[in-house]
Structure 1
């Protein structure tokens, strides 16, 4: 009986050992298959260039169906490397304005004025002792014109209230409505409107800024009853911003404005560089076309009045240290990034960077983006260590564009640890049988 029991024990142990070997072989086979089917497969990219790399040649593309020979060419972007870059000035050098309509005025004449010159949108009060039909409140329109009854509109932009009153008196006398002794006009400023001022030179964010965006008491009531109107939202730049801003490949020095069959080219470079620019007021029926250069211009990747101020990306952080996006603090505010954010900054926002150096430094981050020129979905993979050491290289640390997707992957050390832990979990029930 003892010999038979010993044989049964040896047979049982042998069968258990065989089952254990089978389980180990199955785990190894499954791990090998999982390793071959890596989630980050290499996607074929016809151009071989990621949207966001500087100093790359342009693509061959077409502008709708009409501009076949104007912009649809393979371009070299080397000449546009510093396009729309901030300008620098010195106080001991003469400053030449690029605005042809802006005549130079001696500084002494500017200081000698007794009042602030008028600008488009200002609310003024016109008073005439013998002209009740002309007295009232008026708003200077977008061109700075003052529209009075009967007579033609008067260009009031840049004039002081005293100069404007003299010009109105002269217009009334020339039209034969009043005699010189009866045409007495008084101008009173009720409210100064918000104005656009280009700022350039040694500032952190050169460009055009909106100042004096305040509302006086009962201003809206006065503007309703006043003659004339002004809007700082019916401008060419506002239409472009309403389309979520220009792309980094936009040709902003030749924006096409079409009105009633006529078209002009508008240079809006000054909005980014701080040079004076003519921002055209728009009317119903206008059409705006922003051509493309086919080149990625890094100086356009920053917040401005014609570029996005911020955008949203899709983030996923399901690495071992963060079991979910909630525990990784990947929420609403971390996925809303300012325009000009690069991949390393987005990875930090997704909490992919930091922690234990030996296990977390080899982590990888995936960026999926759609090239707006070729409409191809491009996927790149970068290690965190690579991003940290080569953050100044645009080919390794590219700009993040709106609606991009970012995902974090754990390091090989963590993956190996999880595989070993999985094998131990599978073997634990069998070890209890021995």
Structure 2
């Protein structure tokens, strides 16, 4: 009787994790595109985007099903320009902030030419405080201004210092090299925060290149900033990415990155802020590798199967835990070597998936039968998408658990045989 009692006790505890499912985990799981995400502690679309904190800008909480090729107007969100600078009022001035005469940032290399003023001319690097230092002149602040306005500032400084008459000063400023910059990215991205883009290798700035006027860089764009923030999430409102500069904001449509349509590559300057609104629902067509989504991601796996004593013998290596973006649960389970083996003893295995919902910030845990997962892999509810840093744990079948329980009892009672 003691043997049977201990056996039943061990077998009943072997699957105790299945007795405590997470509350409504299946209905609100982030990797399931079937159901819209119901936010509970996040900001709505009418909240002020200037409010500091962890608020997420929402466009809608409606389902995004049926939007694989385009976005519907039901998810439209509109913000008025932020009037942080009273001197900027006209629409033309707003457009110039984003499209014309790109303002200078710290670290830019500029060539300054002054007619009949060779002693002041030369190549200069914009200082961290935003100024350029010409000989015999006080620092001249040029950050946030285009090259035309910077030339006016330098000309005014030469006139005020008494070196030129107003009618005789002629200054030109040309950019030789665009510097790396830092911009803020927030909203529906995997890693919001301050990101550094256009961080080129110093060897790429060669003397031969500096001899030619002008510079081209493809690493100071909105696409590069989103990539530096680990890419957009599947709930991103991709057709209305918001860029805020000097109190003005502009909405850009980046959906062409995934659909093949043309996309305006807007150049960024230091201090720009990028906000990616969220639709509040999981969009399946955004879950694939691209320029603005992750190419791959890390998943934490555990497969302590019998008789293996670690992840290494179980076939869980660093290569199997680094998966391409768009991987579903079944693919990860196969990668973790949780599928196959003796059908009688291994078919009834289970897998537990733990994932953090990036919108609500809550951890969600779901459990799936591997045998049922193989048969219903086409169902989104059974076979959800995996997200970066998800955790997967495989559990052996009940037959294997009972066998190990019997083996454990044998190890316990074996010494007693020697006493009789």
Task: Tell me the TM-score range normalised by the shorter chain.
Answer: 0.5 to 0.7
Q: Distance in 2 between matches of 1:29 and 1:355?
A: 26
| Structure-to-structure mapping, 1:121-270, within 5 angstroms | 220-270=206-256
Q: Which residue of 1 aligns with 2:23?
A: 44
* 3-state SS of 1:402 partner: coil
- Tell me if structure 2 keeps the 8 A contact 1:62–1:72: no
CA-CA distance at 1:312 after TM superposition: 0.8
Q: How far 1:219 sits from its partner (Å)?
A: 9.4
Cα distance, 1:257 vs structure 2: 0.9
Residue 329 of structure 1: how far off its partner (Å): 2.8
Match of residue 405, structure 1, among 391, 402, 407: 391
1:54 aligns to 2:33 (yes or no):
yes
Structure 1 residues 321 and 427: alpha-carbon distance in aligned structure 2, compared to 1, 3 A threshold? closer
How far the C-alpha of 1:58 sits from its partner, in A, is: 4.1
SS in 2 for 1:264: strand
Q: In structure 2, what is the equivalent of residue 74 of structure 1?
A: 61
Shifted more, 331-340 versus 396-405: the winner is 331-340
Gaps of 5+ in 2: 50-54, 72-147, 152-203
Of 266, 272, 279, 1:293 maps to: 279
Counterpart Cα distance in 1 of 2:241 and 2:347:
45
Task: Report the equivalent of 1:343.
Answer: 329
Q: What residue is the counterpart of 1:166 in the other structure?
A: none
- Do the aligned partners of residues 307 and 32 (structure 1) sit closer, same or farther apart at CA in structure 2, a change above 3 Å counting? closer
> Alpha-carbon deviation of 1:290?
0.2
**1:268 to partner: Cα distance:** 0.5
What's the CA shift for 1:35? 4.9
Counterpart residue number, 2:10: 31
Deviations 1:320-353 (A, max 9, x none): 1422012123222111111111111111111111
Q: CA deviation at 1:423?
A: 2.1
- Displacement of 1:278 in angstroms is 0.5
Cα deviation for residue 52 of structure 1 reads: 1.7
Find out whether 1:310 has 2:296 as its counterpart. yes
- CA spacing shift, 1:83–1:421, aligned 2, 3 Å: farther
Q: Give the secondary structure class of the aligned counterpart of 2:352.
A: strand
Deviations 1:248-275 (A, max 9, x none): 0001001001111111111111111111
| Offset from partner CA, 1:98-126 (integer Å, 9 cap, x none) | xxxxxxxxxxxxxxxxxxxxxxxxxxxxx
Measured in 2, the distance between the counterparts of 1:246 and 1:307 equals: 5
Secondary structure (helix, strand or coil) at the match of 2:65 reads: helix
Corresponding residue SS for 1:367 = strand
CA distance in 1, matches of 2:225, 2:43: 23
**CA distance in structure 2 between the aligned counterparts of 1:334 and 1:425, rounded to whole angstroms:** 35
Q: Alpha-carbon deviation of 1:381?
A: 0.8
Matches within 5 A, 1:320-359: 320-359=306-345
Change (3 A) 1:46 1:219: closer
Q: Paired residue for 1:388?
A: 374
Aligned length: 286
Change in 2 beyond 3 A, CA 1:222/1:63: farther
Larger radius of gyration between Structure 1 and Structure 2:
1
> Are the aligned partners of 2:220 and 2:268 in contact in 1 as well (CA < 8 Å)?
yes
Distance 2:347 2:25 in 1: 31
Where has structure 1 moved over 4 Å in runs of 4 or more? Answer: 67-70, 81-84, 218-221
Distance 2:327 2:256 in 1: 23
Question: Quick check: 1:63–1:291 contact (8 Å CA) kept in 2?
Answer: no
Q: Give me the CA root mean square deviation.
A: 3.1
CA shift, 1:375, in A, is 1.3
* In 1, Cα distance between equivalents of 2:207 and 2:308: 56
